[in-house]
Amino acid sequence: MTTPTPAEERITTEGSVYTVTGGDWDTLLDEDHDDRIVINMGPQHPSTHGVLRLVLELEGETVTQARSVIGYLHTGIEKNCEYRTWTQGVTFVTRMDYLAPIFNEVGYCLAVEKLLGIEVPRRATVARVLLMELNRIGSHLVCLATGGMELGALTGMTAGFREREEVLHLLEFLTGLRMNHAYVRPGGLAQDFPDGWEEKVTEFVALMRSRLPDYDKLLTGQPIWRQRLENVGYLPLDGCLALGATGPILRSAGLPWDLRKVEPYCGYEEYDFEVPVATEADCYARYRLRVQEMHESLKIVEQAVAKMEPGPVMVEDRKVAWPAQLSVGSDGMGNTLEHVRKIMGQSMESLIHHFKLVTEGFHVPAGQVYTAVESPRGELGFHLVSDGGTRPVRVHVREPSFVNLQTMPAMSEGGMVADVIAAVASIDPVMGGVDR
C-alpha cells in the first residue's frame, strides 16, 4: 500500500473540500472530521429532469442533507414580456413549462381577458379545454417515460415516448406546431381547427384507451417497480401544505385539490370527471395518480368533442381581436397569401388598423389580476399588472415546478442516495418553468 499524501483543505461555498491521493481510504479518516462527503448531482445529469443541480451531503449511502441549485436555464421570460405587446407575450410564456405549453398560454390569456373584461366565444373555450387535456396526457407520459428511464425501466421510457409522439402529432394537426404553439391568444384562438379534427381526436382517444392498460402490465403491478417506489419520497399532507406543493404531490397525500373542481375555469364545471386521490404520499402513489389522470383526461376530451358547436373562435371586438379567420401558410403561422390579399384589397383603413394592431398592440385597462389553472404539475398562476398601455408592466408566474421543487429535501433526507432519483422523478419538475 502506498503512503497517503497529506490532504490539502480548500474552502468552497459548500464547505471544506479535501484532495486525497494514494493510500487506502480507511486510513485517511481524520478524527477531527466526520465521514460525510458532499457530491454534486447535475446540472448535466441524466436523472435530474434537466439542468438541475443537487448538492447532496452523504454519510455512506444515506443522504443527510439535500439542496437544489437552480438558474442554469434562466431565460428571462417574465422580464421579456414587459417589452412585448400583450399578444406577443403568448410566444414567450408558451416556452416556460415546455412540456405543458398550452396551459401556459391559457393561464396567461385568461388573465389578459380578465383585465380586458371580455368573454371568449364558447367554441374557443371548449377547444382550450380539449387542447389542455391532450397536453396533460402528453406531459404525464413524459413523466412516466423519464421516470422509468432514470430508474432502469427502459421499456417504460420507449413506450411513454411512443405514446407521447401520438399526442404531438395530434397537437401539430390541430394547432400547426408540435410544441410552443402560441395558438391560444387573448380573445380566443389564432385560428379554428382544421377539417377532420373530430375524426383525428376520436382515433387518438381509441388508441390511448387500448394502450394505457399496457402501463399497468408493464409497471403498476411489476414487483421491482413497486419495491423501487413504495415508501420512497414520503411527504405527508402537513408537509405538502407547509411547502406549498400542489398537483399530484398534494393529491397523493389525500387532499383532492384540483382547480378544475374547486375553482372551475373554462367551463370545467360542465364536465364529468373524477379527481384521483391517494393517501400513501409516496412515489408509487404519485405514479398511479398520473396514470389515472390520463384516463380522466380522455373522458374530458370526448366530452369536449361532443360539446363543440359551430361559431367563431375569436371575440368580435376588432380593437382586440387579431384576425382568426386564417389558414395555415408555409410558415406554419397562418399568414397565407390569400389572407394578405384580402386585407390589402378591403380598404386602406383596414390595412392601417391591422398594421397598428400587430405592431403596437391593443390597450389593456389599468389594474392587476391573478388567474390560475391546473397544470399537470399543479397550480399554475399568472399575476399581470397593467398601467393601461399596450404592454404589461409586470408579468409574474406562480410556477408549480418551482414551488414543488422545495419538497425534494423533505422527500430525500434520511433516505438512500438512489432514492433521490425516484423522488425527483415523482416531483416531475420542468426546469424551463423553474428558471423562467
List CB contacts of 78: < 8 A, sequence separation 6 or more: 395, 396, 397, 436
198 part of a folded domain: yes
What domain range is 230 assigned to?
A: 77-320+362-411
Domain assignment present for residue 159? The answer is yes
Grid cell 373524477 in the structure block, residue? 274
How many domains does the structure of the chain reveal? 1
Is 352 a member of any domain? no
Top-confidence residue, 423 or 153: 423
Q: 34 Cβ partners below 8 Å, 6+ apart? A: 59
Neighbours of 44 (CB within 10 A): 9
Tens of pLDDT, residue by residue over 14-29, are 677 766 555 554 554 4
Summarised one tens digit per residue, pLDDT across range 191-237 is 889 889 999 999 999 999 999 988 888 888 888 888 889 999 899 99
Q: Is the pLDDT of residue 1 over 60?
A: no
**For the domain that residue 198 is a member of, what is the CATH number?**
1.10.645.10
Segment 276-310, tens digit of pLDDT = 999 999 999 999 999 999 999 999 999 999 999 99
pLDDT of residue 25: 46
For residue 250, give the nearest of 120, 363, 377, 387 by alpha carbon. Answer: 377
Q: Is the pLDDT at 77 greater than 90, yes or no?
A: yes
In a domain, 202, yes or no: yes
Neighbours of 209 (CB within 10 A): 12
* Cα atoms in the 13 Å half-sphere on the side-chain side of 23: 13
What pLDDT was estimated at residue 136? 95
164 within some domain: yes
Residue 372 scores a pLDDT above 80: yes
From 167-176, 184-193, 340-349, 408-417, the region with the lowest mean pLDDT: 340-349
Nearest-5° angle of CA 80, CA 406, CA 78? 5
| H or E element in which residue 189 lies | strand 188-189
Alpha-carbon distance 380 to 378, whole Å?
6
What is the DSSP annotation of 290-302?
A: HHHHHHHHHHHHH
Quick: pLDDT tens for 60-74.
888 998 998 888 889
Q: Is position 99 within any domain?
A: yes
- Which helix (H) or strand (E) element contains residue 17? strand 15-19
Cβ neighbours of 352 (radius 10 Å): 10
At residue 401, the pLDDT reads 93
> Is 426 a domain residue?
no
Distance of alpha carbon 7 from alpha carbon 400, whole angstroms: 43
Closest C-alpha to 382, from 194, 8, 68, 114: 114
| Domain annotation covers residue 11 | no
Grid cell listed for 22: 494514494
If you average pLDDT over residues 372-386, what whole number do you get? 94
